[in-house]
Amino acid sequence: MTAENQTTVDPAEVAKFEAMAAEWWDPTGKFKPLHMMNPVRLDYITNQIAAEFGRDLNDVEPFKGLRLLDIGCGGGLLSEPMARLGATVIGADAAAGNIPVAQVHAEQMGLEIDYRNCTAESLADAGEQFDVVLNMEVVEHVADPLAYLTACQQLLRPGGLMVASTMNRNPKSYFVAIIGAEHIMRWLPKGTHEWSKFITPDELADLIATAGLSVVDRMGMVFNPLGWSWSLSAQDLSVNYAMTSVKPK
C-alpha cells in the first residue's frame, strides 16, 4: 500500500485548519486559545524532554543534538521554541497552506526549521527517526487514532519520547470547548471541534500502549476564567490534557 492509501488524515479536518492558516501568528485571532495555552504547553513539554534525556534547561541550547518532529505543526507555535532550545526541528502538517506561513515566520525570526507538507505515515514509510515527537492537539482530528499513533511510534528511536495532547470527552469538555470556545467566546469557528472525537485519558493511554509505547506521565492543562490564565494540574484532566510516553529501548 502507498502512503496515500495508509494515511489517517481526515480531509475535512485539514480543510478547517487550512482556511485559518494565515491567522496562526495573530494572538487575538482564531488561534487565540493556543497562544494563551502555549506557555503552559511549553513548560510541560520542555520539562518532560529534559527529564527523559538528562538535559539542563538552564543551558543555552539544552536540546542540542536531539532530532524533534512537531507533527501537525500548524504555523510553528511549538516548532520555533524547540529550535531556539537547540533541537533539530522538522515541522510536518497535512494542511499545505500552513507550511508557507510557518516558513516565512521562521525566516523572519532567523530560525532554521525544516517544514514539510506531509503526514506521519509518509514520514514513517520513509524511515525517518526522531528522539522526540510532539503530537499536540492532533489525535482528535484524525480518521484512525490507533493507526496514527502507531505511525508516531514507528517514528521514534528506541528510548524516544512522545508528548501528546488532546481533549477529554465528557459534559464539561462539551460545554467548555464547543459551547464556550466556539459559540460564546467565538475563539474558534463553529465546527472546529467534534466532541464525539474527543478522547478520554484512559482511552488515549490504551491507544498509546496498543501502539507500542509506555505512558510515563499525564497532566491536565486548566483554564481559569477568573484569572484569564492557564495552569498545569496533575489532578484535573477534565478538559485539556497531555500525556507523555516512551518507546522501549
| Residue 1 in domain | no
Number of structural domains found in the chain: 1
At residue 2 the predicted structure's pLDDT band, cuts being 50, 70 and 90, is very low
Rounded mean pLDDT of the chain? 88
Q: Looking at the DSSP assignment, which residues form a beta bridge with residue 186?
A: none
Instruction: Tell me: is residue 93 an annotated ligand-binding position.
Output: yes
At residue 28 the predicted structure's pLDDT band, cuts being 50, 70 and 90, is confident
Instruction: Tell me: is residue 136 an annotated ligand-binding position.
Output: yes
Assess whether pLDDT exceeds 90 at residue 131: yes
Task: Write out the three cell numbers for 82.
Answer: 524547540
Between CA 249 and CA 242 the distance in angstroms is 23
In this prediction, residue 82 carries a pLDDT of 98
What's this model's pTM, rounded to 2 decimal places? 0.86
| Residue 181 in domain | yes
Assess whether pLDDT exceeds 80 at residue 154: yes
Among residues 219, 215, 204, which one has the least CA distance to residue 245?
Answer: 215
| Residue 59 in domain | yes
Taking the CA atoms of 22, 28, 31 and 37 in sequence, report the sign of the dihedral they define: positive
Instruction: Tell me: is residue 41 an annotated ligand-binding position.
Output: yes
Between CA 5 and CA 148 the distance in angstroms is 13
| Residue 197 in domain | yes
| Residue 150 in domain | yes
In this prediction, residue 18 carries a pLDDT of 62
| Residue 3 in domain | no
Q: 200: which DSSP letter?
A: -
| Residue 158 in domain | yes
State percent of the chain over pLDDT 70.
84
Q: Which range of residues forms the domain containing residue 189?
A: 11-247
**Mean pLDDT of the region 59-63:** 98
The dihedral formed by the CA atoms of 52, 53, 58 and 60, expressed in degrees to the nearest 10: -140
CATH number at residue 150: 3.40.50.150
Task: Quick: pLDDT tens for 167-184.
Answer: 999 888 766 766 655 554
In this prediction, residue 23 carries a pLDDT of 80
Instruction: Tell me: is residue 20 an annotated ligand-binding position.
Output: no
At residue 234 the predicted structure's pLDDT band, cuts being 50, 70 and 90, is very high
Task: Write out the three cell numbers for 19.
Answer: 482556511
Task: Write out the three cell numbers for 2.
Answer: 502507498
Could you list the beta-strand ranges (E) of the chain.
Answer: 67-71, 88-93, 114-117, 130-136, 156-167, 214-224, 229-233, 240-246
**Mean pLDDT of the region 213-239:** 93
Q: Of 28-32, 103-107, 206-210, where does mean pLDDT reach its minimum?
A: 28-32
- Compute the half-sphere exposure of residue 145: CA atoms within 13 Å on the CB side of its CA: 22
| Residue 5 in domain | no
